[in-house]
């Protein structure tokens, strides 16, 4: 029975190396059982709530289908159809209805506040700082392609955003050598880089920043990019396009990578901007395998979290998990969840 020790998945660094590797291997098994028609339905009678403050295609589809194929159900709430409410209160309400909640939100603090009062697993479906479910799918894709993860060189080119943050925290932790090149002023969080380097030192991975994309991709087994302007930064689009000139993943850049290097993108992409048409449709492009693998890793994650919760419930009374003392209640940052 696959399970993880973490109660929530907010950043990805809650998982130990063995749990992350086990999750990827379990996801590969789940894909195989789906393909050959032998899939089990271990989550009959279980329910997943999905809260969306940001638009979604892959997150909504992959989580919905994952729960359905595992035998469970989903209920979703959109920011446009719900009242403003404190994240802590939302978490306590949902803890009485469902068995886990996935949140796609603008602010990481919303996830943290929900997790602080939730007796059920809280899953980060995307925030402005982290996108761990996507990176788990990416690691699965690399494992399928190369048969291993430790020792691979992955080069990220572009914005120092939530994708790069999650790559930094998760990929080197299982032995990947991660290089990256971002324009000046668009680098990743220094705090996250420092934390990621400390994690990498204990696991054989490495992290190195470069000023020039060509230097970052030299000899890389995979080249990864993302949109230059993420949701919420549309007002900066013209400035960003000027800053990111020279950071497109194209044939010239690809020529500096290792032979048969794969091309990666979390999607959606803007063809002709951060990635050329030729690279998006290249024979070594794995973009759409990455998106499919969201389904499989999220199945593995949900099973792992709920198996942990089931075991914990044999030792802990459910109502105790909801108890909150007045002294411990947060008083800062009153962000509200739509």
pTM (two decimals)? 0.92
- Asked whether residue 315 carries a pLDDT value surpassing 70, the answer given is no
Check if 133 is active-site.
Answer: no
Distance CA 242, CA 93 (A): 46
Q: Give the active site residue among 60, 131, 177, 265.
A: 131
Q: What is the pLDDT of residue 233?
A: 80
What sign does the CA torsion over 43, 45, 49, 50 have? positive
Q: Give the active site residue among 134, 248, 290, 298.
A: 134
Check if 248 is active-site.
Answer: no
Q: Give the active site residue among 248, 266, 290, 296.
A: 266
Cα of 291 vs its chain's centroid, Å: 11
| Three-state SS at 234 | helix
Check if 294 is active-site.
Answer: yes
Q: Give the active site residue among 8, 60, 99, 104.
A: 104
Q: What letter would DSSP give residue 314?
A: T
Q: Give the active site residue among 138, 226, 240, 290.
A: 226
Distance CA 30, CA 295 (A): 10
DSSP 57-99: SHHHHHHHHHHHHTT-EEEEEEGGGS--B-HHHHHHHHHTT-S
Buried b (16+ CB within 10 A) or exposed e, 274-307: bbbeebbebebbbbebbbbbbbbbbbbbbbbbbb
Q: Give the active site residue among 165, 199, 294, 296.
A: 294
Query: Are the C-beta atoms of residues 136 and 24 closer than 8 Å to each other?
Result: yes
82-91, 166-175, 211-220: the lowest-pLDDT one? 82-91
Closest Cα to residue 226, out of 200, 238, 244, 212? 244
State both tokens at 249: 């993943």
* Residue range 294-302: mean pLDDT, rounded: 98
State both tokens at 209: 């920043």
- Which class for 242: exposed (0-12), middle (13-18), buried (19 or more C-beta within 10 A)? exposed
Residue 325 pLDDT grade (very low, low, confident, very high; cuts 50, 70, 90): very low
Q: CB-hemisphere CA count at 13 Å for 281? A: 4
* Residue range 60-74: mean pLDDT, rounded: 98
Query: Are the C-beta atoms of residues 8 and 2 closer than 8 Å to each other?
Result: no
* Residue range 71-89: mean pLDDT, rounded: 88
Please give the angle made by the CA atoms of 280, 296 and 53, to the nearest 5 degrees.
75
* Residue range 187-206: mean pLDDT, rounded: 97
| Residue indicated by tokens 């054989």 | 204
What sign does the CA torsion over 149, 150, 151, 155 have? positive
Check if 266 is active-site.
Answer: yes
Buried b (16+ CB within 10 A) or exposed e, 56-67: bebbbebbbebb
Distance CA 131, CA 137 (A): 11
Residue 329 pLDDT grade (very low, low, confident, very high; cuts 50, 70, 90): very low
Q: What is the maximal distance between C-alpha atoms in the chain? A: 60
Distance CA 249, CA 261 (A): 12
* Residue range 213-218: mean pLDDT, rounded: 98
* Residue range 220-230: mean pLDDT, rounded: 96
Distance CA 132, CA 10 (A): 8
- Asked whether residue 331 carries a pLDDT value surpassing 60, the answer given is no
């Amino acid at each position: 029975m696959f399970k993880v020790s973490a109660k929530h998945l907010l950043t990805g660094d809650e998982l130990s190396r063995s749990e992350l590797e086990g999750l990827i291997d379990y996801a590969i098994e789940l894909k195989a059982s789906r393909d050959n028609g032998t899939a089990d339905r271990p989550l009959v009678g279980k329910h997943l709530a999905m809260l969306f403050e940001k638009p979604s295609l892959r997150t909504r589809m992959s989580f919905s289908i994952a729960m359905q194929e595992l035998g469970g159900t989903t209920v979703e709430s959109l920011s446009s159809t719900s009242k403003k409410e404190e994240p802590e209160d939302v978490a306590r309400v949902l803890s009485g209805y469902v068995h886990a909640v996935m949140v796609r939100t603008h602010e990481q603090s919303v996830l943290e506040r929900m997790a602080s009062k939730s007796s059920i697993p809280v899953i980060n479906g995307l925030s402005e700082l982290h996108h761990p479910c996507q990176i788990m799918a990416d690691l699965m894709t690399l494992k399928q392609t190369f048969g291993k993860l430790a020792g691979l060189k992955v080069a990220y080119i572009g914005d120092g955003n939530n994708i790069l943050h999650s790559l930094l925290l998760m990929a080197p932790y299982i032995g990947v050598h991660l290089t990256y090149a971002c324009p000046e002023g668009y680098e990743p969080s220094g705090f996250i880089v420092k934390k990621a380097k400390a994690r990498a030192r204990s696991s054989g991975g490495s992290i190195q920043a470069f000023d020039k994309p060509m230097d970052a991709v030299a000899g890389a087994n995979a080249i990864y990019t993302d949109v230059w302007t993420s949701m919420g930064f549309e007002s900066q689009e013209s400035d960003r396009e000027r800053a990111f000139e020279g950071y497109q993943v194209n044939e010239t850049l690809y020529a500096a990578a290792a032979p048969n290097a794969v091309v990666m993108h979390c999607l959606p992409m803007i063809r002709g901007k951060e990635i050329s048409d030729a690279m998006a449709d290249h024979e070594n492009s794995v973009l759409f395998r990455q998106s499919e693998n969201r389904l499989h890793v999220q199945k593995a994650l949900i099973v792992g979290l709920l198996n942990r919760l089931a075991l914990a419930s044999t030792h802990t009374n459910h109502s105790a998990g909801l108890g909150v003392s007045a002294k411990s209640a947060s008083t800062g940052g009153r962000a509200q969840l739509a």
